[in-house]
Amino acid sequence: MRYNRVSRVRAQAMTGAETQQLEAHLATFVLPQTQRPLGQGGTSFAIGPDGDRIRVDVTCGFPLERGADAVLEALKSHCSALDLSAELAFALEWSVDTHAVQQGLKPLPGVGNLIAVASGKGGVGKSTVATNMALALELEGARVGILDADIYGPSQPRILGLSGRRPETTDGKTLEPLLAHGLKAMSIGFLVSEEQPMAWRGPMVTSALNQLLSQTNWGELDYLFIDMPPGTGDIQLTLAQRVPVSGAVIVTTPQDIALADARKGLEMFQKVNVPVLGVVENMSVHVCSNCGHEESIFGTDGGSKLSGDYGLPLLGKLPLRKDIGEHTDGGTPTVAADPDGAVAERFTEVALRAAAELAAASKDYSRLFPKITVEGN
């Protein structure tokens, strides 16, 4: 997946001193999507001749289809104050690489990266956040899927407007994921009625999830989001150990009781060596739908404190708004319902920061090498 845009500034050849000046100046440009200087957070840049111009090639390890123009314009403005003798041409390209998973596990065939979205307790909006993050990356050009891992209380069928739909199989061995708003989706809720209780013990739940994950024909995906079940018990720990996850996102509210449980979820992923990409503070501020008044009904800065305690980035703060709930219940999540709105922009910021954190992590190179088998005589 690659994207290329070019923007120009002015004309001739630059001296070595000017090149060094340009390099230093570019390194001070903070990319809005990552809040990190260019060259960090899954980004890089290279300067080279291009005829009678100087070309600056910017590479991002995360999708940036819709945001590319804004980045190039910001770069152009950032460098306009430089008194250079050559014309500058800016190009932006993005691609999503496969990243390393837990030791002893291999990435899922065809799926570049699995991102687990988890919380220590229910009721913090984890599923809503996971779905909107997935939709945001899909809108930015990535190939994205979502797996509903909550066997006992699947919510993705309703969130995505797929209630009552059933997946099909073309080969009798794998299930075809359902499609909603550009996302490929799979859930146990597609296979049983909404009213049917899942009275299963732990091993059955784990087996069912493994089958949903491995026996779904995901095709080629850049990201597969896993909407994890709430809690940190045996089931969640087993999933974190057996599912090849590239990174995890922790969702919490600012409330103390939610933060205490979120810490447990965070510790669980660290225990099984899954990188935690960051913390999302959901329901940070309640926004009145009538007057726009904002009130922190669950407390303030809880997510900031949690991320600070563990040295993790705060991926963003999301509001508590009536329309988010209405979009979710209506089967058209906010990013799909109002992709250019202010709330969708907040979800996109969270998703891109998570993707950027993943882009800066270790990559998986096992697919580049042939399997070597040594046999004795």
State the pLDDT at residue 377: 44
Residues in a beta bridge with 186: 147
**Which of the pair, 18 or 317, is modelled with greater confidence?**
317
Q: Which of 189, 149, 166, 131 is nearest to 327 (CA)?
A: 131
Q: Is 89 in contact with 6 (CB distance < 8 Å)? A: yes
Read off the pTM: 0.89
Residues 69-93 have a mean pLDDT of 89
Q: DSSP characters for 265-306? A: HHHHHHHTTPPEEEEEE-S-SEE-TTT--EE-TT-SSHHHHH
State the pLDDT at residue 4: 52
Q: Which residues contact 339 (CB under 8 A, 6 or more apart)?
A: 139
Domains in the chain and their CATH numbers? 5-94 (3.30.300), 111-359 (3.40.50.300)
State the pLDDT at residue 14: 58
State the pLDDT at residue 364: 59
CA–CA separation, 335 and 325 (whole Å): 12
Q: What is the pLDDT of residues 180-215, one digit of tens each?
A: 999 999 998 898 766 666 666 667 777 888 888 999
Q: DSSP characters for 157-211? A: HHHTT-TT-----SSSSSBPPEEETTEEEEEGGGTS-TT------HHHHHHHHHH
> Cα dist. 284→64, 229, 280, 319 in Å?
26, 22, 9, 5
**Could you tell me the two tokens for 134?**
């997935």
Cβ atoms within 10 Å, residue 225: 30
